[in-house]
Chain A
């Protein structure tokens, strides 16, 4: 009896001490909502978008050349899809002490100079990106209205040249989602900048 109790205590001790591994989202998983500061100073949550059919959540930033190459495409995507119920929600996951170009003030400047009409949120304290499993910028997560992940990966297959794109992965995923068809592929990989974390 006492042995069982001790074993039980030991097991719970180990379980409690086990580090919480960051779980990367997969298609079919439910993504968490968040409340993050936008470049206009207001707090933004997905729940604020009452009539949204889904969300184009994109982890992106100021400094990364790959993120920069997609800025104009993000603007065009938001212009096209926010009307259809799929707004772009951009989140900067980088720690500005590790990458000063990605500070909140620099985000405000970039949003203004590029004329972002979508929220550009700051993942202050880097609490949200690990719960999505974002690893790079840019990194897209397409969610439906219930925040179920439908597609993860790249916007398209040609970062360097928007005019030479052959596969518009994200747009094709949205079209399939709207048509109630299976999304193929629902995960793609792309080159990008690592997410910048402050070193101890």
Chain B
């Protein structure tokens, strides 16, 4: 019993320690769509990139994160970014912890501009505003997917990843 107590204390200590270490990790926060567009989206830049809009509270978004992670590991040369639509305060540590716990290493930013009606069309006129949603830039060509994916293979097939990889080279 005493040993068990010690073990519990030990686990408590370790988990508290890791949580504390990670809680300092802030992710870039954009409270204004214009600055997000300029620094992250860069729609005019002739880029190749995959941008996934998600939130910690969105179950289908969280479910598909590992599939995007698998894609990230398979094609490390493909630039990807996760855009969290969580609260501003979550950028300070919660998002980084949430992703670390799930071994997600794709770069992430938080977009917390509440005036969604003003900017949803600027991401894509095709977007109604539901998440998950994925935007793909392929050298001036733009595709938008307001859907969730069931596997990494489904992402590869639907988004035509090979074309992105070819154009990235």
Secondary structure of the A side of the interface?
Answer: loop
Q: Does B30 make an interface contact (CB < 8 A)?
A: no
With contact pairs A194-B60, A194-B148 given, residues A136 and B128 touching in the complex (Cβ less than 8 Å):
yes
Which stretch from A29-37, A78-86, A124-132, A185-193 is at the chain B interface? A185-193
Partner of A191, one of B116, B147, B148: B116
Q: Does B108 make an interface contact (CB < 8 A)?
A: no
Q: Would you call A190 and B87 a contact (CB within 8 A)?
A: no
Q: Does A143 make an interface contact (CB < 8 A)?
A: no
Q: Does A54 make an interface contact (CB < 8 A)?
A: no
Task: Name the distance in Å between A154's Cβ and chain B's nearest Cβ.
Answer: 6
> Cα distance A106–B57 when bound, in Å?
19
> Cα distance A72–B58 when bound, in Å?
21
Q: Would you call A189 and B117 a contact (CB within 8 A)?
A: yes
Please give me the residue from chain A that is nearest to B87 by CB atom: A160
Number of residues on chain A facing chain B (CB within 8 A): 25
Q: Does B144 make an interface contact (CB < 8 A)?
A: no
Q: Does A119 make an interface contact (CB < 8 A)?
A: no
Q: Does B131 make an interface contact (CB < 8 A)?
A: yes
> Cα distance A104–B58 when bound, in Å?
21
Q: Does B59 make an interface contact (CB < 8 A)?
A: yes
With contact pairs A65-B57, A199-B150 given, residues A193 and B130 touching in the complex (Cβ less than 8 Å):
yes
Q: Does A159 make an interface contact (CB < 8 A)?
A: yes
> Cα distance A135–B147 when bound, in Å?
10
With contact pairs A157-B117, A194-B146 given, residues A189 and B57 touching in the complex (Cβ less than 8 Å):
no
| Residues of the B chain whose Cβ atoms lie less than 8 Å from the Cβ of A135 | 128-130, 146
Seen from chain B, the residues whose Cβ lies within 8 Å of a Cβ on chain A are 57-60, 85, 87, 114-117, 120-121, 127-132, 146-148, 150
Seen from chain A, the residues whose Cβ lies within 8 Å of a Cβ on chain B are 63, 65, 99, 135-136, 139, 153-154, 157-161, 169, 185, 188-196, 199
